[in-house]
Structure 1
Amino acid sequence: MKRHNLGTVIRFEFTRTVLKPKFWLISLSVPLLIAVVVGLVTISSQATANRADSQDKQTVSFTYTDASGLVDAAVAAAAGGSPVTDAPAARAAVVAGTSQCHVDYPEDPLSQPIAVQGQDLGLFDSGRYSAVASSVFSQSVAARIGDPKLAALAVNEPDVELVTYAAGTRTAGFAGVIVPGLFLVLFYMAVLMLGNQMLNVTLEEKENRVTEMILTTMNPTTMIVGKVIALVLIGIVQGLVVAIPAGFAFNLLTNAIGAVPPTDGAASLLGVPLDLWPALIGFALFLFSFLMFTGLLVAIGAVMPSAKEAGNAFGVVVMAMFIPLYAASLLVSDPHGVVSQVFTFFPLTAPVSALLRNATGGLYWWEAAIALVMLAGFGWLFLMLGVRLFRTGSISYSSRVKIGRALGWGGQQ
């Protein structure tokens, strides 16, 4: 019989997946869920900030003692404060419930805290006591200084706007992390969303007991490579489905709040600042990382007799993906240290480590080259191992394939 060619396998696997409504439902639900979560967090944060800002403007009935001599009686009175001389009695009145709040301003506010005691108004509303106590003290200090600007500077540090340049061109700063950092997010999503399909590249035929029939009409290498290429294309489609709406949403958000300043004509993608080389390196790392994990999961699927057993091994792979996140602060703060190097050049932790360092500008070009070669090499190795294991163990329907025997290490079968 005529063997199926590679294009036929790729087309069949790709169209079979992307034409399913379930694929688009899952893919589109991710950016929608992210948008809902971001919206809710933004609204909640704004409401919390507004509430915090309004707390120091509220009037609270309180007594106070002033060992520092800095509190202005008129300012305190306007906020609802009454001076007392017997601090223990005032605190006892709060405990007894006959007084709402008492504040003790210390002799040395620079080294001692302002002590506040008040009736419980709930977890958040009780914060008004501290806000009012701090506001009275700040306004009293401002009144002593006299100049409103000097008073503001004494209490609050001025905002600093940092602009950096590289080779005479203004860089994007933190905004430049967004595009290369997006590939790290897409890598996690691709593996987590397509992990089961990676395992099923070989498991599907084994569980359906059709491998013998398939192998009489198709080269196993052609079948597996075709399926892997189809998975890569599916991963790219899912990445675009997530990235494009995210880019538009970010553009609208930053335009609305003015969070990202213009970059003097620098390149941008959907309004997001774009540094070309980190973006290209990020894409290459994403692609080769995805291929390596796909090859690994294909090999695992070829060994296991069922999806249930393969799922346990998949959990270990996912754990390896998340290990670098626990060392993320070290990877960012000391990107060229020993730990960062080990994480970057160890196969299972290399994808996340290299993508994170690239996004934050801590990956040298030669380190990126080594990581890409390593990922490509291990990806090819895992894929060929999967093909060999599938070819020799395709009819092991009820037991795991013996890897050593499949590779010829244990003699002839």
Structure 2
Amino acid sequence: MARHNLGTVVQFEFTRTVKKRRFWIATLAIPVLLGIVFALIFASSTSTQSRADALKDQSLEFTYSDASTLIDPALAKAMGGTEEKDPATAADRVQAGTLNAYFAFPASLVAEPVLVFGTDQGIFKNGSYDAVARQLVVLSAQKQVGTPELAAAVQGNFSTDLQTFKNGERSGGLATVVPPLLFLVLFYVVIILLANQMLASTLEEKENRVTEMILTTLNPTTLVVGKVISLFLIGAVQSVVFAAPMVLGYVFFREQLDMPDFDVSELQFQFLPMLVGALLFIGGFILFTGVLVGIGAVMPTARDASAVFAPVMIMMFIPFYVVTLVVSDPGSMIVQIFTFFPFTAPVTAMLRNAFGSLNGVSAAVVIAELFIFGVLALRLAVHLFRYGSIEYSRKLSLRTAFSRKA
């Protein structure tokens, strides 16, 4: 059968899926929910900032006694404090409601705690008492140290510029790790979101009893490959839709949403790790797609296929149980097994590739392994689809399928 029908299959499968209302409901559900969450965070941060500004305008009235002689009277006065004339009765007066707050600074701040007494203003506002007492101690100590440089050194308020080198060249640290990890994120997004679609795409014609008519005009290989390509395109559409709220939120509302201030321009897209990540992603996609299509070809209904589908998906998450070893000890036996076992290889190898522990030989072996097993899985799926597509009421017998000639 002519292969020019491949474009027709891809176009039909893609348009058939994107025209379904439930596809867009499922696709847009996550961005809508993210938008609602972002709106709530924005409103909450605005309200919190308004309360913080209001609290800044209010002075906290308190009295204090200082056995440590550390507290600076001028600073205490500026913060709303006055020296207590009768420390023995101060706590009782706070309890009686005639005194707003009282701080008792001990002779040794290391050996004894600062006693803070205040009238109850609610669980959130009560924290202002402790905050003011701590701030008064810190500012007084800084003033006694003498210079801002010594105060910063004592508190550890200084920055460092770390530079590391690998193979005679400066390594980029996190800036080189993040870009290759994007392939791992994309792999999970595509496989998880499209796994059910992969099964449904194979089982839909079988359950509708139209497979015989389709196979009279199309080669099974053309049909299966066309379905795989269309699923990849659908995954690309969903990935763009899902990423849009995060990108818009980071670009326009990063401060309001408390997103980390990460300079995207510092990311280093190194050619070799990005190439290896892309090949691992494509190979893993082909392998898992071929297996899922094969499951759909063998099973008569989606319900029957789900029993086999679950263990296949679980194998994608197994490497995360040893992620600490993948990062810290990539040479361990369990990491090596997960690196070269086909169903755990994509995730493990992409992690190691991002963190720089996957050497060239291992990368080549894993990539070749994924493509070889992926192509074999697709060929097996085509063979099973050829004979399993007309098994409407029962599971295809593998012995029967392999005893027949294609």
Aligned equivalents of 2:272, 2:111: Cα separation in 1: 49
TM-score, with length taken from structure 2: 0.77
In the other structure, the counterpart of 1:195 is 195
> 2:358 is aligned with what amino acid?
L
Aligned equivalents of 2:5, 2:248: Cα separation in 1: 40
TM-score, with length taken from structure 1: 0.76
Cα deviation, residue 137, structure 1: 0.6
In the other structure, the counterpart of 1:266 is none
Paired residues for 1:4-403 under 5 Å:
5-17=5-17, 59-66=59-66, 68-82=68-82, 90=90, 99-105=99-105, 108-110=108-110, 114=114, 116-164=116-164, 171-239=171-239, 259-260=262-263, 272-311=267-306, 313-325=308-320, 327-403=322-398
Cα deviation, residue 199, structure 1: 0.7
> 1:260 is aligned with what amino acid?
D
Gaps of 5+ in 1: 264-271
- For residues 346-369 of structure 1, give each alpha carbon's deviation from its aligned partner in whole angstroms, at most 9, with x where no partner exists: 443333333233333343333332
Aligned equivalents of 2:309, 2:391: Cα separation in 1: 20
> 1:281 is aligned with what amino acid?
V
Alignment: residue pair count: 401
Aligned equivalents of 1:387, 1:280: Cα separation in 2: 29
- For residues 4-47 of structure 1, give each alpha carbon's deviation from its aligned partner in whole angstroms, at most 9, with x where no partner exists: 74444334324444566876776677667667756865786698
Aligned equivalents of 2:158, 2:187: Cα separation in 1: 39
In the other structure, the counterpart of 2:257 is none
> 2:72 is aligned with what amino acid?
D
Q: Are the aligned partners of 1:106 and 1:113 in contact in 2 as well (CA < 8 Å)?
A: yes
In the other structure, the counterpart of 1:267 is none
Q: Are the aligned partners of 1:232 and 1:291 in contact in 2 as well (CA < 8 Å)?
A: no
Cα deviation, residue 153, structure 1: 2.7
In the other structure, the counterpart of 1:269 is none
Cα deviation, residue 200, structure 1: 1.8
- Distance verdict in 2 for CA 1:49–1:341, change over 3 Å: farther
Aligned equivalents of 2:248, 2:169: Cα separation in 1: 25
> 1:208 is aligned with what amino acid?
N
Q: Are the aligned partners of 1:94 and 1:100 in contact in 2 as well (CA < 8 Å)?
A: yes
Cα deviation, residue 131, structure 1: 1.9
Q: Are the aligned partners of 1:94 and 1:119 in contact in 2 as well (CA < 8 Å)?
A: yes
Aligned equivalents of 1:356, 1:326: Cα separation in 2: 13
Cα deviation, residue 224, structure 1: 1.6
- Distance verdict in 2 for CA 1:216–1:81, change over 3 Å: same
Q: Are the aligned partners of 1:304 and 1:400 in contact in 2 as well (CA < 8 Å)?
A: yes
Q: Are the aligned partners of 1:183 and 1:282 in contact in 2 as well (CA < 8 Å)?
A: yes
> 1:135 is aligned with what amino acid?
Q
Q: Compute the RMSD of aligned alpha carbons.
A: 4.4
Q: Are the aligned partners of 2:34 and 2:245 in contact in 1 as well (CA < 8 Å)?
A: no
Q: Are the aligned partners of 2:3 and 2:222 in contact in 1 as well (CA < 8 Å)?
A: no
| Mean Cα deviation higher: 34-43 or 345-354 | 34-43
> 1:194 is aligned with what amino acid?
L
Q: Are the aligned partners of 2:63 and 2:81 in contact in 1 as well (CA < 8 Å)?
A: yes
- Distance verdict in 2 for CA 1:131–1:142, change over 3 Å: same
Q: Are the aligned partners of 1:56 and 1:131 in contact in 2 as well (CA < 8 Å)?
A: no
Aligned equivalents of 2:371, 2:359: Cα separation in 1: 18
- Distance verdict in 2 for CA 1:372–1:203, change over 3 Å: same
Aligned equivalents of 1:190, 1:332: Cα separation in 2: 24
Q: Are the aligned partners of 1:296 and 1:382 in contact in 2 as well (CA < 8 Å)?
A: yes
| Mean Cα deviation higher: 78-87 or 380-389 | 78-87
Q: Are the aligned partners of 2:64 and 2:105 in contact in 1 as well (CA < 8 Å)?
A: yes
Aligned equivalents of 2:331, 2:125: Cα separation in 1: 47
Aligned equivalents of 1:273, 1:331: Cα separation in 2: 22
Aligned equivalents of 1:380, 1:224: Cα separation in 2: 12
Aligned equivalents of 1:321, 1:387: Cα separation in 2: 23
